[in-house]
Amino acid sequence: MLRGGIIGFGRMGITHFAILNSRPDVEITAICDTHSFVRRNIARHLHVTAYSDHEKMLRDADLDFVVVATPTAMHKAAACCALERGLHAFVEKPLTLNPDDSHELLAMVGRSACVNQVGYVLRFSDVFMQVKRLLDARAIGDLVSYKMEMRGPTVLGDTRGSWRSQGDAGGGCLYDFASHAVDLVNYLVGVPERVVGAVLRPVYSRQVEDALCATFLYAGNLWGNLMVNWSDPSCRKPSYRFEALGRNGKIIADLHAYRAFFRGPPDIDGLTEGWNQRHITDFAAPIRFYLRGFEYTRQLDYFIDCIEGRASPGVSSFATAAETDTVIARIRASAAQEKRSERWIA
């Protein structure tokens, strides 16, 4: 039986708790949160010891692993504490707010045998796993260009009551929302060498951006566009659209389906020349427990399987997440440069 603790009992902490707790081989014995309302109800209804201080929790509770689901600014301190004690760590995305901090954590895990994972859940999405297979098999040939769009109705008004409106807490569309799209690009295509033409803009927020765009450049003339907006009232929930053009075809994917065009027979998954369409119902593998999406359970089961030696780690590790943090920092740098240019033009 693995014993786990959760630091931060907001929306993601609660989701992770429910999914992990539903496993017969895992027991969540400690939860840490700063709100007394949350702590009181954890103790009363979940019969789990509630802490207000994560250091005390890690010291007193005899844990094998920890899930860090606090606002992003607190990830590093909590993860450091866990790694120092030799605990396996699952940290919500993004890993930290700057690549130097992420690389410090990476150095720590390099010196230990701890399993480390970051909650880039789209790496466990049925459709995007299929798209990754097709790209890796070069089913559409050498890539020419791609675009990644992500939209959602997350912020449709003034957000002063939430940490999402505070950039130094990890709020803002880039860290809190677009990091998923950046990581998905890294996963599907690879880490861009350069980021140019980035623009960060507020829509409703006062201190952080609500929308952004950027161009990613790679060796060999490959380029990609990123467009993200979390203030789009036309969406019911966050949605993704990835479109990749290769010399031998095209793939257009979202969370539920993909369409693919091939110039010739691609010789994979029964796909044929011309247009093909596959829905999630065609290939979704059953999972033991469903909450919010297949990918949420799949990512945590993978984490546990890695701890118990049934799977090889690396799908969404601190190392891949540090690469994502690096791209995020490059987007910020490019946006700052664009802003200086705007001032110069004005």
Task: Please report, as ranges, the residues that interact with other proteins according to CB under 8 A.
Answer: 10-11, 14-15, 17-19, 21-22, 35-37, 40-41, 44-47, 153-159, 161-162, 164, 236-237, 239, 254-257, 279-282, 284, 286-292
Nearer to other proteins, 10 or 141 (CB): 10
The distance of closest approach from Cβ of residue 287 to other proteins in the complex, given in angstroms and rounded to an integer, is 6
Q: Per-residue b/e over 292-304, b at no fewer than 16 CB within 10 Å?
A: ebbbbbbbbbbbb
Q: Are 243 and 252 in contact (CB under 8 A)?
A: yes
Q: Could you write out the DSSP letters of every residue in 86-132?
A: T-EEEEPSSS-SSHHHHHHHHHHHHTS---EEE--GGGG-HHHHHHH
The distance of closest approach from Cβ of residue 179 to other proteins in the complex, given in angstroms and rounded to an integer, is 15
Closest to 332 in 3D by CA, of 77, 74, 94: 94
Q: Could you write out the DSSP letters of every residue in 20-43?
A: HHTSTTEEEEEEE-S-HHHHHHII
Nearer to other proteins, 15 or 186 (CB): 15
Q: Are 253 and 241 in contact (CB under 8 A)?
A: yes
Nearer to other proteins, 237 or 343 (CB): 237
If DSSP states are collapsed to H, E and C, what string results for 174-231? HHHHHHHHHHHHHHHCCCCCEEEEEEEECCCCCCCCCEEEEEEECHHHCEEEEEEECC
The distance of closest approach from Cβ of residue 122 to other proteins in the complex, given in angstroms and rounded to an integer, is 15
Amino acid at 110: G
Nearer to other proteins, 221 or 277 (CB): 277
Nearer to other proteins, 84 or 282 (CB): 282
The distance of closest approach from Cβ of residue 304 to other proteins in the complex, given in angstroms and rounded to an integer, is 14
The distance of closest approach from Cβ of residue 7 to other proteins in the complex, given in angstroms and rounded to an integer, is 17
The distance of closest approach from Cβ of residue 92 to other proteins in the complex, given in angstroms and rounded to an integer, is 15
Nearer to other proteins, 79 or 173 (CB): 173
DSSP letter (8 states) at residue 286: P
Nearer to other proteins, 153 or 202 (CB): 153
Q: Are strands 2-7 and 26-32 parallel, antiparallel or unpaired?
A: parallel
| Dihedral (Cα; 179, 226, 222, 131), 10-degree rounding | 70
Q: Which helix (H) or strand (E) holds 247?
A: none
The distance of closest approach from Cβ of residue 31 to other proteins in the complex, given in angstroms and rounded to an integer, is 11
Nearer to other proteins, 68 or 155 (CB): 155
